[in-house]
Amino acid sequence: MGNACHYHSNADAIWQCSGCSKEYCGDCVPGSVDNYYRSTPKCILCNNRLQNVGASNKARPFWQMAPFYFRYALNAGPLTVSAICAVAALAITGMGILSIFILVAMLAVVMRYNLLVIEKLASGDLQSPTFGDAQDGRSAAVFARVIGMILVAGGGGALIATTFGVGAAQVYSIVLSLLGPAAMIVLALEHSMRAAVNPLKLLQFTLIIGWPYWLLWLSTSAVSAAPTVLLPVVADKLPVWMLLPLLAFVTSYFSIVTSAMMGYICLTRQQKLGVASQVDDEEFLEEREFERRKALADSSIFLREGRHEEARKTLVGVLRQQPNDVALNERYYRLLLATDDKKALRELGPHLLERFISMNQPHKAAELYMATVQSHGTPAIDKSLLRHQIAEALYRQRQFKPALALVNNLHKEDPHYTRLDSAYLLLAKIYMDGFNRTDNSRKLLAFVRSKFPKSAVLGEVQQLESILTAEQQNKESSQPA
């Protein structure tokens, strides 16, 4: 299981900061690397460059990926390499000394491709390279390094046999077998024959990988032996001319399978091995949307870390450019609540609630109003229209008591309020639906009818009176005579 984000425990980490040892998910570091200066996101806490760990963090354990390795070698690129090996094997039949050059060229291509597979998978690229990717002019150099490794290993064995005898040489050959996968991986990652034949380097590699390395060794040994097991089974059933091409194809296929195993095990230890990760990139965001998401992410992190002033400055800076963004305004309001900034809540709270109303978000204004009531007491709102609008939203949310508190004395506190008729109607609804005070509702409706004879809400008043009358008649008829 991968490491979780430090701030979102249900999300896998994509970025890691070595400076403050924090791990971040895509919500904490939004957008693509191209959204950042020099395509390098930095830690918001310590300003160190972040390392992308998305691919390695999502990687499943090596031993759970067996089907992947065999499917990997069936993709277009690997099959092309295997098919070229088969054609080359068919072509060299009867070509004499020229066949040696074809064989060497074929081996060089296969080795280059296999090392490229290891390199790509180790960096987090799960897509197999194409045949063209391997034609980068390095095949000859790779082949020369492999030949050099073989000569060094053979020379070491001869020296040990001469100096210490046959028994020591046998032990040496066993060690070579055990360290073979490590040598190929080191060659693929560091492109250095010297590193690939350095026993200390190889030992260090096996220690970093840990016990899964020995599982890798067993797996690659078994897979590499597959051609010698399969060919005798079909040898009697095929024409002789097909055996060599088939051997070349099968050997190439299983060599790519083993390379995929080597590359993937490096992916699971990518950070410890110091392998440069292919960035697990997110979608590129337009500048305005990126700034918005970045401000939300940074302010959340600052708030969690107790750096309240930095969180506030971050939000204020973006709100100046995007004053009508709902999420930014809500985050700013909740920041004021979290920091217990009574002065700011008193001065800015009503203004922010009014902004939510203007953005057609009355439910959000009601939600934040209630959050303020629960944590800091009832806020002072001196605008009658705002009180009325929040009360309407609270009524729709069936929060009758706070809705009643907002409009109950509105006629006394602001007798010149231009929407008193609508406020009285709302009060009648609150008494009826929230407290079953139908007597109060009737009085309020009658008051609206008499005091506001030209009100636009008279139709709704009449409808509500009809409902109350019908309920009263039903109640009377249900009583025993």
Under 8 Å between Cβ of 410 and 384: yes
Q: Once rounded to an integer, what is the mean pLDDT over residues 285-300?
A: 94
The gap from C-alpha 211 to its chain's centroid, in whole angstroms, comes to 29
Please report, in angstroms and rounded to a whole number, the separation of the first and last CA atoms in the chain: 74
Give the pLDDT of residue 470. Answer: 84
- C-alpha closest to that of 80 among 134, 13, 118, 123: 134
- C-alpha closest to that of 253 among 64, 86, 66, 68: 86
Question: Three-state SS for 12?
Answer: strand
- In the structure encoding, which two tokens stand for residue 100, read together? 């040696």
- In the structure encoding, which two tokens stand for residue 205, read together? 């590699």
Angle at 92 between CA 90 and CA 97, to 5 degrees: 170
- Phi/psi class of residue 39: alpha, beta or left (left: φ > 0; alpha: ψ in -120 to 50)? left
Under 8 Å between Cβ of 185 and 118: yes
Q: Could you state, in order of their start, the residue ranges of all structural domains in the chain? A: 15-52, 63-273, 408-481
Under DSSP, the state recorded for 18 is: T
Q: Once rounded to an integer, what is the mean pLDDT over residues 439-464?
A: 92
Q: With 60 as the cut, is the pLDDT of residue 263 above it?
A: yes
Share of the chain above pLDDT 90, in %: 48
Under 8 Å between Cβ of 184 and 112: no
Lowest mean pLDDT among 190-194, 274-278, 291-295: 274-278
Q: For 52, phi and psi rounded to 5 degrees? A: -75, 120
Q: Once rounded to an integer, what is the mean pLDDT over residues 148-153?
A: 86
Residue matched to tokens 């099959």: 79
Under 8 Å between Cβ of 395 and 404: no
How far apart are the C-alpha atoms of 154 and 148, rounded to whole Å?
A: 10
Under 8 Å between Cβ of 145 and 187: yes
- In the structure encoding, which two tokens stand for residue 404, read together? 């009643």
* pLDDT band at 478; cut points 50, 70, 90: low
Question: Three-state SS for 47?
Answer: coil
Share of the chain above pLDDT 70, in %: 96
Under DSSP, the state recorded for 15 is: E
Average confidence score pLDDT of the chain: 88
Q: With 60 as the cut, is the pLDDT of residue 1 above it?
A: no
Q: How many CA atoms lie within 13 A of 192 on its CB side?
A: 8
How far apart are the C-alpha atoms of 51 and 43, rounded to whole Å?
A: 10
Q: With 80 as the cut, is the pLDDT of residue 475 above it?
A: no
pTM of the model: 0.69
How far apart are the C-alpha atoms of 61 and 284, rounded to whole Å?
A: 30
Question: Three-state SS for 435?
Answer: helix
* pLDDT band at 365; cut points 50, 70, 90: very high
**DSSP collapsed to 3 states, 57-94:** HHCCCHHHCHHHHHHHCCCHHHHHHHHHHHHHHHHCCC
Which residues fall within 8 angstroms of residue 321, CB to CB, at 6 or more apart? Answer: 288, 291
Q: Once rounded to an integer, what is the mean pLDDT over residues 17-40?
A: 88
| pLDDT tens, residue by residue, 108-125 | 888 999 999 999 998 888
| pLDDT tens, residue by residue, 56-82 | 777 888 888 999 999 999 999 999 999
Question: Three-state SS for 456?
Answer: coil
Q: With 90 as the cut, is the pLDDT of residue 292 above it?
A: yes
User: What element of type H or E holds 304?
Assistant: helix 287-304
Question: Three-state SS for 24?
Answer: strand
Q: With 70 as the cut, is the pLDDT of residue 212 above it?
A: yes
Dihedral sign, Cα of residue 266, residue 268, residue 270, residue 276: positive
- What CA–CA distances, in Å, run from 42 to 27, 275, 307, 357? 14, 20, 17, 37
Question: Three-state SS for 52?
Answer: strand
Under DSSP, the state recorded for 37 is: G
State which amino acid sits at residue 365. A
Give the pLDDT of residue 95. Answer: 61
Residues 386/389/390/393 CA torsion (nearest 10 deg): -170
